Structure 1
Amino acid sequence: MTGRYAVLTGGVGGAKLVDGLYRLLPANSLTAIVNTGDDFRHFGLPISPDIDTLLYTLSGNSNQKLGWGREGETWNFMEALRSLGGEDWFNLGDGDLALHVMRGIALQAGETLSAVTVRFAAAWELALNIVPMSDDVVATWVESDEGPLPFQRYFVERHCQPKVKSVSFEGAATARPAPGVIEAIKSADAVLIAPSNPWLSVDPILAVPGIRSALLDCAGPVIAVSPLVDGKAVKGPTAKLMGELGLAISNDAIWDHYADFLDGLIVHGDDLAPAGIAVTRTDTMMHSANDRERVAGVALNFANVLLE
């Protein structure tokens, strides 16, 4: 397929769709705009979980058993950390540390996160544009029944157990889209919203001024892949969060969340879908590389139908 495409994505689930698109599309025709609301500093190191997951997935370095981190990882650092009484709620593998250390050195020297990410992608010979949503710091916070929690404390340390009252994005109001983000959206033949958590992974991207309006103005259709399968989340707290926010756990709620800019929705199998909208169906589970290519192919074909 020819043309230029953009995809808004979070971590593990979104990275699978991006991987499928990357396998099908010509080199350098895809731009992945990645959530950085999850980013934080840990032991002084700048951690960008969703960017790193995408880098590992596309380069073939992702840990297939864990679903995050590097394949063949060792944990000597964490063992030494525990022996000194250090916090061990967020695992940093020995190989994974290289990315964070290199990123920290570059940021300290004045490089932007987008420039560092381009350099990492080039080092692993990845022929696509991986762009953070912003080079400015945006932090996702969860207001919960345990009080306000930074995202990683809620997601990793507390395993999404606290009940969520609201979600906010500190710094978003004054953040600027990273270079190339707006251009990639507006010039795309289609923009895809990955099956990442709409409230925790996609909303931080949309909170950056200019990005939502670019989606409204883009030339091609905007298509979302629903994160729901049989009324449940494939991974993570999507369904739990929807219930806590007072939303029906349904594709209607997914559509309503994106309705101002969305042109089409991809739903799983025979799952109920909103009436009167453009919908296509497929098995959205992506267990294998073939599954990823299949779902990506359905999305690209759907975009072509909507363009006609």
Structure 2
Amino acid sequence: MTNTLKASAGPLEHPRLPTLSLPAGSCDAHCHIFGPFDRYPLPADRSFTPPLAPESALRQWHEAFGFARSVIVQSQGHGYDHRPLLDALSAGAGRYKGVALVRPTDPDEVIAAYDEAGVCGARFHFLAHLGGRPNLDSIRAVAARVKPFGWHLAIHVAGDNIVEYETFIASLDANVVIDHMARPDVATGPDGAEMTALRRLMDTGRVWVKLSGADRLSKVGAPFHDALPIARSIAAHAPERVLWGSDWPHVNLHGPMPDDGDLVDLIADIVPDEERRQLMLVDNPAKFFGFE
């Protein structure tokens, strides 16, 4: 059955180096790793087949681009097998934090072990191709389980989901981060219902947003400038609660593989001044994820 799953291509082997120089201590707040598959076989119940993208490859491109820290998000590609993530956290010796996929039935000792390793959040998908509509009671149950550890909750929505689930997200008793700018339709613009709902959530003071996934939002392709009005509006609305992520290695794309040089250079267009870039890339992630 798994041989019918969509297979994701790997990232560009030789992305161009960006022209933007990143501030010291910059953090890629959203990326994934996959493999090595001889050590971590893919589960049969995965929702897609990821490319080989181990921690060693992630570290190599981060060092080339100037990222000192990153947040590795557990993906449906490895499902609930967190061994690649946990081993990466150990190898990173403080340069990584992790976000896990947690079930209400996971034992207390498992969650405690994740926390000890450097996991600081739990992620929930609201997308059909990643498991379907969420069970809100299960999310509340997981939120209660991880609250003693001070974890955040990562929410992955798309389209008008942010409007549909605004009240639920606002009710969560934890800090929340919305992945990929909530993946709105760029045609709705920064003043559409999706962005209006997102700004209301940010105004609670407990909701942060990752300015990642510009390539996923774009309808015209690189350098993804049609996503700029959305990204700029979010960054300007609450500069103290925005983060930036690459989404490397860019799985489950419908368009061409993006060049990470384009994505990093887009940072300067989203946040033109250095002081706000320092916030987004260094200070905000240090505060939100708990980097020393």
Q: Which one has the bigger strand percentage?
A: 1
TM range (shorter): 0.3 to 0.5
Give TM-score scaled by structure 1 length.
0.32
User: Is the radius of gyration larger for structure 1 or structure 2?
Assistant: 1
